[in-house]
Amino acid sequence: MYSSKQYSWNDISIAMAGRIVEGIEDVEYTSKQDKAVLRGRGGKGHGITRGNKDYEGKITLWQSEVEAMIKAAPNKDIHSLNFDIIWAFAPDDGGATVIDVLASCEITEYKKSMKQGDKNMLVELPFIFLDVKHQQ
């Protein structure tokens, strides 16, 4: 038997660098692996070859969270930070807790911007990382 419990945003906690982040509005990650069909005699493939794995993602944070990251970074350079992201789904109804760990994350770029009428600044931070540890 398996549970097909659906988790909601209200069930999620994100921890970065050892603390739960309150000012987060979006998080996503992608795991990719290079694959190709092994060709030989005939018109059909004989197998699938596997190559490198790559991991990337993005988080959208309040400006105050980004400023705290910059302040904590060596030489105040957010690109020099290396941290794990712990993504935990812990439902209030007693369902199973699911935790993914994104290991050794580093920010690849960031851009600050605001426009008239904005009530707060949101900053999207794309990142790369070395591994995802599922269901820890």
pLDDT of residue 3: 59
pLDDT of residue 18: 86
pLDDT in tens, 60-75: 999 999 999 999 999 9
In this structure, is residue 127 part of a structural domain?
yes
In this structure, is residue 4 part of a structural domain?
no
**Angle at CA 58, nearest 5°, toward 55 and 64?**
140
The residue with greater pLDDT, 46 or 9, is 46
Using a pLDDT cut of 90, give the percent of the chain over it.
79
Give the CATH number of the domain where residue 70 resides.
Answer: 2.30.110.20
CA distance 6 to 107: 30
CA distance 24 to 11: 14
In this structure, is residue 35 part of a structural domain?
yes
pLDDT in tens, 12-48: 899 998 889 999 999 999 999 999 999 999 999 999 9
In this structure, is residue 2 part of a structural domain?
no
pLDDT of residue 1: 57
In this structure, is residue 20 part of a structural domain?
yes
Q: Write down the mean pLDDT value for the chain.
A: 92
SS (H, E, C) 3-54: CCCCCCHHHEEEEECCEECCCEEEEEEEEEEEEEEECCCCCCCCEEEEEEEE
How many domains are contained in the chain? 1
In this structure, is residue 6 part of a structural domain?
no
Task: State yes or no: pLDDT of 4 exceeds 90.
Answer: no
In this structure, is residue 29 part of a structural domain?
yes
Give the domain range for residue 28: 11-133
In this structure, is residue 3 part of a structural domain?
no
